[in-house]
Amino acid sequence: MADAFIYDHVRTPRGKGKAVVSLHEVTAIELGTQTLRAIKERNGLDPKLVEDVVYGCVDPVGEAGADIARTVALKAGYGKEVPGVQINRFCASGLDAVNLAAAQVMSGQKEMTIGGGVESMSRIGMGASGFGIAVDPSVAIDTYFMPQGVSADLIATKYGFSRDDVDAYAVRSHKRAAKAWEEGRFKNSVIPVTDVNGLIILDRDETIRPATDMQALAALKASFVQMGEMGGFDAVATAAHPDVEFVNHVHHAGNSSGIVDGAAAVLVGSKKAGKAAGLKPRARIRAFATTGSDLALMLTGPVDVTELVLKKAGMSVKDIDLFELNEAFSSVVLRYQQAFDIDDAVLNVNGGAIAMGHPLGATGAMILGTVLDELERTNKQTALVTLCVAVGMGVATSIEPVGGDSR
């Protein structure tokens, strides 16, 4: 099997997913276009060398519909010869897009591909494309379907995380993200979003609150109490997990991932493709995996898929220098850390989605790039990236730097 290398990655800043803020006037097509254009321009890349563009988008409807990957490739000037495909594995779509792009290279069917993702949550609301499992009782009942927030609270209850625990993790996320920006740790990857005149609209993640503290978070009411109690989902949770007597609702907007807009792109190719493009590889994709997991807990997939991807890579937890886990909810990260006894110093060292937001289809590609930058900055050797996924799944990728820089 051929090796797949990462040659470059870029991402936009994350803009608040509201109708009155920075990126609301920028369509998903334009966000994706600017990332693809940046990959082309900063690498002096002949776009005809790219044999496929794979983009994640969780709500591919309206102006983001009809295979947005093909659309953005055309708008970015890659030419009619470069195909594109849009995928949806919920929150892990961006990482899965990179994995599928890499799989084509590893199989020998393609030499160079781009994986990434995009979501404009201020223009196309979360859930706009529907949610079949939630509305069809013939599936929902048998699979213990419940909203993710209730599942996050179930995780916290089952594994012993208090309101203080989840709030303290959220404070840490904001502090680390703010420090990362202050120290310029994202400067090599974040590209400013510009308007039609080339003027900068946004060049920095918009939702970080460095002053966040325990007192401020304590003033927020738990978000999923009514949904769990009056909606009946607490009963679903305890039916699925009889060892849990009741659900302690601890999550709120301050310790959950934010709704934001953003896009990311990762250039993947074989060694042969890199030579043809005059580029040096930055990392090798060592292994990747996907798996299903507990349906009621829903968001513990990263634990299961980490075990699987490490087995595929012939590695153990102790072999990983840096872990990057999407911060869907605080309890997701705390359970992951608990399961593998991971030190704070190597997990989400630059903050995460609680501070910077979670543009659903793009996040996986974003955090893959974040951890690659951190590997290079700290001269570490291995990293593992993973995300929880709705309806009980997990996706993970392990990478190792190979030296050099594509720019």
Active-site residues, by number, are: 91, 358, 388
Rg (CA), the chain: 20
Q: What do you get for the CA distance between the two ends of the chain, in Å? A: 27
Of 33, 371, 11, which Cα lies nearest the Cα of 191?
11
